[in-house]
Chains A and B, each alone.
Chain A
């Protein structure tokens, strides 16, 4: 797992309290509203996201930048690479 700090995001998606498969469906929908190169921050407290989101990014051709552990959730960063 790649850990990052102070990543600047263009949009934030708060999925705290929600579980599988919302952690994969909502980022996909949100990324459609972003421009290529922009960064999405996903807040989640679902442990499964740490494994699922990097894999999902690889499958859909987006760049997984890494994760930052916050007080009450994880912050995962995705750069949109394709439309």
Chain B
């Protein structure tokens, strides 16, 4: 059976060049980078060389990169690290209501420590309004965190505009760029951000490694206390193979990101056009143009997204519902609620995230099968009658 994997927001296949860069660091070059002898210091130099590559991908300096275990850890480090690091200055932070759980739950954790959090609403496309942000800022606000590209609806936020509101008031700005770094050009200076989270998973790198960009002179309280790794900002012996993989993935992404964008947009538009043509009662979500290039999200009326995901997988097609709430807890996705999708429609959420290895043949394969699968699920649905949602 043909396999069409269109869930690249969940995971990407590790590229052969990346694997090759990692392998010697499992056994041949196994020493601890913090040691003072030559086989350790040589590895430390390699780790720092990868730091430079990651920095180069986002227009930063090597010393501004902290390696983490994931994008989720980078988000936790940014929120908790800044909130605690600037606690004497103020105890209020602002996040958008459509952030990844690693941001939202870090904010909720901070509320338990008596910090105050404002959850900013978004419009029907998922966009945060800079004026609304301006009005939410208080004298005691220390941090604003708004994601760059939303993993569930694909919308890209106007980060430069939002961060300039914060800069005027001397407030730090963090963006979760896990969905964008490696998929679109990202530059921390163009975006005007003080902190930025990224992950190797988004750019055909290995799992278990991410990074947090922290602009020079920004204070962050470490999450993991211990030794001197990451200049005392994140203790624990470095995941050297992971770091080598992230560095290689970043180096490759730097040269390829513009071409990849065009390729993914082309495939996404073909998929959208095919779905619009062959399936009725579909609500595309997120912004039409201001969105991640390989990302297409929608809600099919009168079906359940996880049922669709399951029967498509039996056809060799792998997609996602976009939300752990919807797929694991059978709860309406908070992101879809935030953009005012009706709960009964939100149940039919489907997210296609196209990768570089996908082809027009893959898209045709999906378009040839998806309408039948949707039709079959609707035929079982009490919410569907005579070709229409009840």
- Which residues of A pack against B, CB within 8 Å? 14-19, 21-22, 25-26, 71-72
Contact = CB atoms under 8 A, between A and B. Distances in A.
Contact of B219 (A17, A21, A22): A17
Contacts of B220: 17
B228 A22 contact: yes
A26 B228 CA distance: 10
Contacts of A72: 88-89
Contact of A26 (B85, B222, B231): B231
Interface in B202-248: 217, 219-222, 225, 228, 231-233
Nearest to B220: A17
Contact of B228 (A15, A16, A25): A25
A25 B227 CA distance: 12
Nearest to B216: A14
A15 B225 CA distance: 14
Interface size class of B (residues with CB under 8 A): 10 to 19
Contacts of A26: 231-232
A16 to B, nearest CB: 5
Nearest to A15: B232
Q: Which 4 A-B pairs have the closest CB atoms?
A: A22-B232, A18-B232, A72-B88, A17-B221
Contacts of A18: 222, 231-233
A21 B228 CA distance: 7
Contacts of B85: 16-17
Contacts of A25: 228, 232
A60 B84 CA distance: 34
B231 A71 contact: no
A17 B88 CA distance: 12
Nearest to A18: B232
Contacts of A22: 228, 231-232
A16 B81 CA distance: 12
Contacts of A17: 81, 84-85, 219-222
Contacts of B219: 14, 16-17
A26 B231 CA distance: 8
Interface string B61-95: 00000000000000000000100110011000000
A16 B233 CA distance: 11
A71 B221 contact: no
Contacts of A19: 225, 232
27 contacts: A14-B217, A14-B219, A15-B232, A16-B219, A17-B81, A17-B85, A17-B219, A17-B220, A17-B221, A17-B222, A18-B222, A18-B231, A18-B232, A18-B233, A19-B225, A19-B232, A21-B228, A22-B228, A22-B231, A22-B232, A25-B228, A25-B232, A26-B231, A26-B232, A71-B88, A72-B88, A72-B89
